[in-house]
Amino acid sequence: MVTPTSSGAAPAQRVREVVEPVVRAAGLHLEDVVVAPAGRRTVVRVVVDLDEDAVGSLDLDTVGEVSRDISAALDAADPVRGVYVLEVSTPGTDRPLTELRHVRRARTRVVRLTLHDGSTVRGRVVTADPDGYVLDPVPDGVAERTTVAPADVARGHVEVELNRLPAEDTDGASDAHDDEEDED
The pLDDT averaged over each successive group of 10 residues in the chain (184 residues) is 51 95 96 93 95 87 96 95 93 89 94 96 96 95 95 94 57 40 41
Considering the chain, tell me which residue range(s) the CATH 3.30.300.70 domain(s) occupy. Answer: 11-89
pTM: 0.73
Distance of CA 155 to the CA centre of its chain: 16
CATH class, range 100-158: mainly beta
The pLDDT value given to residue 145: 96
Considering the chain, tell me which residue range(s) the CATH 2.30.30.100 domain(s) occupy. Answer: 100-158
The pLDDT value given to residue 93: 81
CATH class, range 11-89: alpha beta
Classify each residue of 87-112 as buried b or exposed e, where b means 16 or more C-beta atoms within 10 Å of its C-beta.
ebebbeeebebeeebbbbbbbebbbb
The pLDDT value given to residue 81: 87
The pLDDT value given to residue 23: 97
The pLDDT value given to residue 9: 67
